[in-house]
Amino acid sequence: MKRFLPTALILVSLLALAGCGAKKFEAGTYQGGAPGIHGKDVVVEVTVDSKEIKDIKILENHETPGLSDAAFDRIPAAILKQQDLNVDGVSGATYTSNAIIGAVTMALEAAGADIASLTSGKKAEADTVAAATEVLNADIVIIGAGGAGLSAAVSAHQNGASVIVLEKMPQVGGNTIISGSAYNAVDPSRQEPEGIEDSVDKHYEQTFNGGDQLGTPEMVRTLVENSYPTLQWLESLGMEFKPHVFTVLGGLWPRAHKPVMPLGTGYLKTYTDYISAHSDEITVLTDTKVNEIYLEEGRAEVVNATGPNGTVVAAGHKAVIIATGGFGADIEKREKYNQIWPSLRNIGTTNHPGATGDGLAMAEKIGAELIGLEHIQLLPMGDPVTGSLSGNIEQSVENRIFINKEGKRFVDEGERRDVMTRALFDQTDEFMWIVLDAHNYPTMDTKNNFNESIQELVDQDRALMADTLEELAAKMEVPAAELVAAVEEFNAAVESGGPDAFGRTLFEHKIDTPPYFAGGRKPTVHHTMGGIRINTKAQVLDKDGNIIPGLYAAGETTGGIHGANRLGGNALVDINVFGKIAGENAAAETASH
């Protein structure tokens, strides 16, 4: 500790004191706006008197529901409390946080504030609350409130258990809420009317072979056989899927179901509606990071966590379920386990910042076996700046092509995700354009999978639009003759039904209807296939294949299902099928005492 304040600091402090009583604002109510995650403004109304910010209201926003709630709750509150704009963004909602701060800044400028004096302060420290230990008890403790954790919570409760869910982030949802949300299931009610032949065996073969036969056969079987019944379970909880199935990127077959709500928000609403209706028996704590799981007499039971007010100790007298997701956002872990790709240090990710693989070390410490950690999935579909899936203009595999900087196609665009991404790494600047036409966007209001309209994307220069292919090529800065030739060849294959020169067999419409669109994409880290080894009951196994009593795991934190490559549309199946199974079996355990 310094005993004397430096002179400069004393001077600044004296000046600040002298200014204490001075007028800071023109009293009144002011509005300001700043762009949020989709480029549209978050608009706020700020009320000030001559000395203080009195109130901040959010008047308008186009942020993704669920993802941004914590930022709307906390950022205005922090600014009001601190009377300063130098507040930390809410983790996982950085764009929204910055938009709110930007909008408030604009309103305060209008109020005549000296913004520099409002941003110079030290960042507010988190509230210092005396470290307290909160002790919680339930039948089941679940670590992580993404899709796997929350589906497990619902199914455990349906099977008679009381549940505590601990989530480290300020909001629930994990990667699930920002996922593409496609759900593969063999579903004659939707597939037969469209003339699509399918079977559970075909889903099995494609999943197993698509992962280089490295998945565990009985785990793959459990996944595909439970896929449709689990979709019906979600529907019974109120989840809505669109009537048509489609082929999702790297999904290999038209069996993907698209929720009515955007991204993964439909799944989250389904779980949280159920949880809210049973809040007496299901407790969800956010901002509570689990650090360790303890065995009591050889049985997983107690977890230690750090919550907003200190230590939380939670006991699951029947079981503990690990549902902490993958490690796609943890650069060091990527570097440690990656054996297949070039260095992934400078590659973006589609993942939320909490995807740091916390469950792996916790499970390993109490004897669990970890498998397949080298299998890291990349997509060729990252936003060139952020790595996110936002701004992706593809609507279905059948109706778009990939074009490199030379204006040429370079891969079967219906291939496995690893095959397409590997091919993208070989292209100039590891960059490609998705090219498609008005079949995908019949109106400029038509939205992509990220709830962004094509008009918005064009306005933000995140998509290019042109009436002819030549004009589009000029905007893409690729040779027009090459692009035209590539599209002509593709259209000929659509007519013949393929396979074309790249081996592509998935086609629907020709690319022949203006306006034409192009959107740039780069490789991005998406999913980690490896993780905690479980059996078909979602029980965690040790290195000798023995069950660790009381310990379950589900979702992306587990390994052994997808092998070397996960099919598109199988992740939402995995987290729901094994989350539900984990919840059921955990609820059926006998309480320890």
Does 569 contact ligand ADP by CB under 6 A? no
Rule CB under 6 A: is residue 316 a binding residue for ligand ADP?
Answer: no
Cβ distance to ligand ADP smaller for residue 256 or 478: 256
Q: In the bound complex, what is the minimum distance in angstroms from residue 175's beta carbon to ligand ADP?
A: 3
- Which of 231, 323, 381, 582 lies at the binding interface for ligand ADP (CB under 6 A)? 323
Q: Answer yes or no: are the C-beta atoms of 115 and 85 closer than 8 Å.
A: yes
Strands 310-322 and 547-553: parallel
CA neighbor of 400 nearest in space, from 352, 439, 368, 360: 439
Q: What are the angstrom distances between the C-alpha of 75 and each of 68, 71, 96, 99?
A: 11, 6, 9, 10
Handedness of CA 75, 77, 81, 84 (dihedral sign): positive
Mark 243-282 with x for binding to ligand ADP (rule: CB under 6 A) and - for no binding.
----------------------------------------
Binder among 33, 266, 316, 325 for ligand ADP (CB under 6 A):
325
Stretch that binds ligand ADP, among 59-67, 118-126, 317-325, 441-449 (CB under 6 A): 317-325
Q: Would you give the DSSP letter of residue 447?
A: B
In the complex with ligand ADP, which residue's Cβ is closer, 176 or 535? 176
**Range in contact with ligand ADP (rule: CB under 6 A) among 66-74, 190-198, 226-234, 352-360:** 352-360
103, 148, 432, 494: residue in contact with ligand ADP (rule CB under 6 A): 148
By DSSP bridging, strand 531-533 and strand 370-371 are antiparallel
Query: Which of the residues 378 through 407 are near ligand ADP (CB under 6 A)?
Result: none
Segment interacting with ligand ADP (CB under 6 A) among 36-44, 138-146, 238-246, 504-512: 138-146
Burial class from Cβ neighbours inside 10 Å (0-12, 13-18, 19+) for residue 298 reads: exposed
Can you tell me which of 147, 250, 414, 550 binds ligand ADP, judged by CB under 6 A? 147
**Contact between 290 and ligand ADP (CB under 6 A)?**
yes
| DSSP state at residue 429 | G
Q: Is 169 helix (H, G, I), strand (E, B) or coil?
A: coil
Query: For the packed helices 571-587 and 217-236, what is the interaxial angle rounded to 10 degrees?
Result: 80
Compute the distance between CA of residue 588 and CA of residue 319 in angstroms, rounded to an integer.
10
- Least spacing, CB of residue 247 vs ligand ADP, in Å: 22
Which H helix or E strand runs over 567? none
Nearer to ligand ADP, 101 or 305 (CB): 305
* Residue 311 C-beta: closest distance to ligand ADP, Å: 13
Helix, strand, coil % (nearest 5) of the chain?
A: 35, 25, 45
Active-site residue identified among 400, 409, 417, 533: 417
Is 377 near ligand ADP (CB under 6 A)? no
At 58, list the tokens: 């959010």
Least CB distance from residue 426 to ligand ADP, whole Å?
30
Stretch that binds ligand ADP, among 93-101, 139-147, 252-260, 403-411 (CB under 6 A): 139-147
Of residues 230 and 324, the one with the C-beta less far from ligand ADP: 324
Which residue number has the CB closest to ligand ADP? 146
DSSP letter assigned to residue 548 = E
358 binds ligand ADP (CB under 6 A): yes
Which position among 56, 314, 355, 376 is part of the footprint of ligand ADP (CB under 6 A)? 355
518: β partners = 435, 464
The string of DSSP letters for 90-134 reads PTT-HHHHHHHHHHHHHHHHHTT--HHHHHSSPPPPPP----EEE
- CB nearer to ligand ADP: give 76 or 146: 146
Q: Which of 103, 145, 186, 252 binds ligand ADP (CB under 6 A)?
A: 145
144 binding ligand ADP? (CB under 6 A): yes
Q: Is 303 in the site for ligand ADP (CB under 6 A)?
A: no
Query: Which pair of tokens denotes residue 227?
Result: 């896929």
Q: Which stretch binds ligand ADP (CB under 6 A): 134-142, 319-327, 415-423, 495-503?
A: 319-327
Q: What stretches of 432-565 show up as alpha helix (H) in DSSP?
A: 454-459, 469-476, 480-496
Annotate 363-393 with three-state secondary structure.
HHHCCECEECCCCEEEEEEECCCCCCCCCCC
Is-contact 357 528, C-beta < 8 A?
yes
Residue 255's H or E segment, with its range, is: none
Whether the CB-CB separation of 376 and 334 falls below 8 Å is answered with yes
At 190, phi and psi to the nearest 5? -100, -35
Per-residue x/- track, 172-211, ligand ADP (CB under 6 A): --xxx-----------------------------------
118 or 575: CB nearest ligand ADP: 575
Cβ atoms of 300 and 551 within 8 Å: the answer is: yes
Active site residue 417: yes
Strand, helix or coil at 194? helix
Query: Shortest gap between Cβ of 239 and ligand ADP (angstroms)?
Result: 16
Q: Which of residues 150-169 bind ligand ADP (CB under 6 A)?
A: 166-169
The single-letter code of the amino acid at 40 is K
Q: Residue 191's beta-bridge partner residues?
A: none
Considering beta carbons, is residue 286 or 536 the nearer one to ligand ADP? 286
Residues 6+ apart with CB under 8 A from 442: none
Distance CA(60)–CA(484), nearest Å, equals 43
* Stretch 541-560: interaction string toward ligand ADP, x if CB under 6 A: --------------xxx---
Options 321-329, 413-421, 504-512, 532-540: segment touching ligand ADP (CB under 6 A): 321-329
Q: Hey, what are 217's tokens?
A: 């056969």
For residue 312, give the amino acid letter.
V
- Of 324, 349, 440, 570, the one binding ligand ADP (CB under 6 A) is 324
Interface map 95-134 toward ligand ADP (x if CB under 6 A) = ----------------------------------------
**Cβ closer to ligand ADP: 175 or 396?**
175
- Pairing assessment for the beta strands 163-166 and 132-143 based on DSSP bridges: parallel
Number of residues in contact with ligand ADP under rule CB under 6 A: 26
Catalytic center residues: 417
Residue numbers at the binding site for ligand ADP (CB under 6 A): 143-149, 166-169, 174-176, 289-290, 323-325, 354-355, 358, 555-557, 575
